[in-house]
Structure 1
Amino acid sequence: MHVVESYATDVAGNPEGISRVSFGVDTVAPATGVTLSGPRGENGWYLGPVTVAIRAEDATSGVSISYRLDDGPWSPYAGSFVVAGEGTHRVDYAAVDGAGNSETGDASVSIDSTPPLVVLEMSGIPGREDWYVSDVLVSLRAEDGGSGLARLEVRLDGGSWAEYASALPLTDGVHTVSYRASDAAGNMAGSRTVIVSVDATSPQSTAVLSGERGDHGWYRTPVVVSLQASDATSGVDVLAYRVGTGTWRPYGDPFTLSSGVHTIQFTATDKAGWLEPAQTLTVRVDETPPALAAVQTPGHSTSHDVTLTWSASDSGSGVDRFEVAVDGGGWTRLGTEPTARLHLADGAHTVVIRATDAAGNRAESSVAITIDTNMFSPGGPYGGAPTGVLLVAIIVLVSIAIAWSRRRQRR
């Protein structure tokens, strides 16, 4: 502040009274600044409302402040104010001192208090009870309308966090997928976890048959059928079966099949909804040997060549073959004709006929045969007649010899 004093004197020497003028000189604009206060995030962003305080200083002529927000109308500044709302805001301010010197400035206020929005999507074929019955693709997408997405991360089955790049393929098993995201302001979409259960494989069932195995795929005793099924992922829900064209029923305990040809079908369903294609099994059981009728034989033969006949039947697996054994010797196959042609030596013989069905069941029948081909034997081909002739001839010869001897003695 300056004071100028002045007076004047005329030619006659009369002085004027002293005059004083006070004035100030201010050629310096006010010093200004702004202070922003609020929850700071990252990269210059705030995570909530921001308090704006404007300051202006002028040591000479004093100062007045005005401001505006986001190109709005100018308002006198009376004290700090709050800027709220998502997005980037502009605060303009001006300070003017008493001399008319002015200073302007601006400040940018960026606010983002909302974390990113993360959406998880799964593509696959849904089954039952939250299972998928095909491989699954898990994809993520994230949006942030404020500061923008900074990072999207994923973790599979408790492993390490990794930046998400592309969809995750998931195969059989129960998987945990965790994901999180953050924006440029530092807002974090907290970790979330979903469980993805995948069972892309149908269950497997098997049958176990217990019984005495025969020939040609037949059993010779009742067969006990045991069924079992396994599923390594979701687990077996139902194991069902039927015999022949009967009703499907849940399998509980082993069951028994007696004589006959049986068709068994069985299938398993797992908890995910997979239905195994039905399996078919044929079980042939024949517990009964063939019915072998008595062997037709002459009993006594005067010929070495003998023909035996018989009949046999089998209502189960059917007669497969006949065999013959003579006097405890080895078995000789005869085929399927119920006839045996034998060449036997003289004497008594035991002949055994054996019938075997396709399952291997056997039935036997034995007969006794006597062969006598001696022409002098009473049981021979001539009934003993040659022996009688021979005896008569001997008697005649002896009689002749005796008569001749007596005649010589008389001489």
Structure 2
Amino acid sequence: MALEFAGGNQPPDVTPPETTHDIVGEAQNHWYSGPVTVNLKASDSESKVAATYYSINNGDVQTGTSIDIREEGQHVIHYWSKDEFGNVEEKKEVGINIDLTAPVINFSGGDGTVYGIDEIVTISCNGEDVLSGIDTSTCKEISAPAYQLGIGNHTFKAEGVDVAGNKTTVSITITVTVNFESLAGLTESFLHDNGNKEKAVSYLSKLAAAKAAEERGNTKVRDSQLLAFMNHVKAQTNKQITDEQAGYLISFAGELMK
């Protein structure tokens, strides 16, 4: 026997409920950088709402009006309601993207790497973010002769921001040093660049003598040989080497006298 309702054979309500959602959380570029709560609100103008349902990523159907999402990733929430007369709303959906992890900044040169003055400092940098992706990055390629950086520590810093707004800053420090071998190498390099490679012997012999004296513990002879090297550099400035190159060689030779 069919059910009868007052006023005829049709139920008083044949219209399903209407459910809306409200998201609690701050989004940037459609990504959230923290946990999100989705509140569901159902209404029915002709009867009462019996229940509100939802599922996350097509998982198990659950009943409720408040959904907490705390895990990273892309989530699709389907939700709908049913009224007391059995009218079921068509499913609606809302996407929630969460990225809780800051980007990763990678430098090719390891922190604490030591370079001689005759070497080229080459450091690459790149940013990665597996979820929302990199939005901005200050990474840049570094390629410079170590002697131009100068003796001592040098710190390079890079910042990355992902699409969700998570930020990370990474820095590495390298050290530029000078010894007799690297000063000899730089001297040869300068002479070669100027077409005077065959003139290197008179420079290198003085550095070799200074090194041998230091190994014997004779700093007086070491310094006299380094001074002879510096005087030779001065004498050949703007002849075999440029004025700028001479400034570097004299300065580095002075470091070896300390």
Specify the TM-score bucket, using the shorter chain as the normaliser.
0.5 to 0.7
The answer to whether structure 1 residue 122 and structure 2 residue 96 are counterparts is no
Q: Output the CA distance in 2 between the equivalents of 1:113 and 1:249.
A: 60
Change (3 A) 1:50 1:250: same
Moved over 6 A (4+): none
Residue 213 of structure 2 aligns to a residue whose secondary structure is strand
Offset at 1:137?
Answer: 0.5
1:117, 1:250 → 2: CA distance?
Answer: 48
Deviation, structure 1 residue 22: 11
2:114/2:175 contact within 8 Å kept: yes
In 2, distance between residues paired with 1:130 and 1:139? Answer: 14
**2:244: which partner in 1?**
none
Give the direction of change, closer, same or farther, for the CA distance of 1:138–1:70 in structure 2 (3 Å limit): same
Structure (1 or 2) with the greater strand fraction: 1
Q: Which residue of 2 aligns with 1:168?
A: 142
2:115 match: 132
| C-alpha displacement of 1:51 | 1.2
Contact 1:241/1:267 (8 A) holds in 2? no
1:44 aligns with 2:30: yes
Determine if the alignment matches structure 1 residue 100 to structure 2 residue 100.
Answer: no
Q: 1: distance between equivalents of 2:134 and 2:225?
A: 55
Q: How many Å apart are 1:28 and its aligned residue?
A: 2.8
Tell me, yes or no, if the aligned pair for 1:143 and 1:149 is still in contact at 8 Å: yes
> Distance in 2 between the 1:110 and 1:35 partners?
15
Amino acid of the residue matched to residue 19 of structure 2?
Answer: T
Counterpart of 1:131, as a letter, is: V
Q: Are 2:213 and 2:219, in contact at CA under 8 Å, matched by a contact in 1?
A: no
TM-score, normalised via structure 1 length: 0.40
Q: In structure 2, how many angstroms separate the alpha carbons of the residues matched to 1:144 and 1:130?
A: 26
In structure 2, list runs of 5 or more residues that go unmatched: 186-205, 228-252, 254-258
Match in the other structure for 2:162: 183
Cα distance in 2 for partners of 1:176, 1:135 equals 16
**For residue 202 of structure 1, what is the aligned residue in structure 2?**
183
RMSD of the TM alignment (CA)? 3.4
Instruction: Please state how far the C-alpha of 1:117 moved relative to its aligned partner.
Output: 0.9
Q: Distance in 1 between matches of 2:113 and 2:17?
A: 70
Matches of 2:97 and 2:125 in 1, distance apart?
Answer: 27
Q: How far apart, CA to CA, are the structure 2 residues paired with 1:3 and 1:41?
A: 50
* Consecutive unaligned residues in structure 1, runs of 5 or more: 5-20, 124-128, 155-163, 205-228, 231-237, 243-247, 256-264, 269-275, 277-411
C-alpha distance in 2, partners of 1:29/1:203?
A: 87
Tell me by how many angstroms 1:56 deviates: 0.6
Contact 1:135 1:198 (C-alpha < 8 Å) held by counterparts? no
Whether the 8 Å contact between 1:68 and 1:91 is mirrored in structure 2 is yes
Alignment partners' CA distance in 2, 1:131 and 1:93: 59
Task: State the aligned residue count.
Answer: 188
Distance 1:72 1:130 in 2: 50
Alpha-carbon distance between aligned partners in 2 of 1:130 and 1:251, rounded to the nearest angstrom:
31
Q: Percent identity?
A: 26
Q: How far is the alpha carbon of 1:168 from its aligned partner?
A: 1.2
* Residues 240, 266 of structure 1: 8 Å contact kept: no
| CA distance in structure 2 between the partners assigned to 1:93 and 1:29 by the alignment | 13
Residue 107 of structure 1 and its aligned partner are, at CA, apart by: 1.1
2:157 and 2:167 map into 1 onto residues whose CA distance is: 14
1:239 and 1:250 in contact (8 A); partners too: no
Structure with the bigger RCO (C-alpha within 8 Å, sep 6+) is 2
Structure 1 window deviating more from structure 2 (106-115 vs 41-50): it is 41-50
* AA at the equivalent of 2:22: T
1:250-303 CA distance string (max 9 Å, x none): 333469xxxxxxxxx9579xxxxxxx9xxxxxxxxxxxxxxxxxxxxxxxxxxx
CA pair 22-130 structure 1, distance change in 2 beyond 3 A: closer
Alignment of 1:324-363 (within 5 A): none
1:141 is displaced (CA, Å) by 2.2
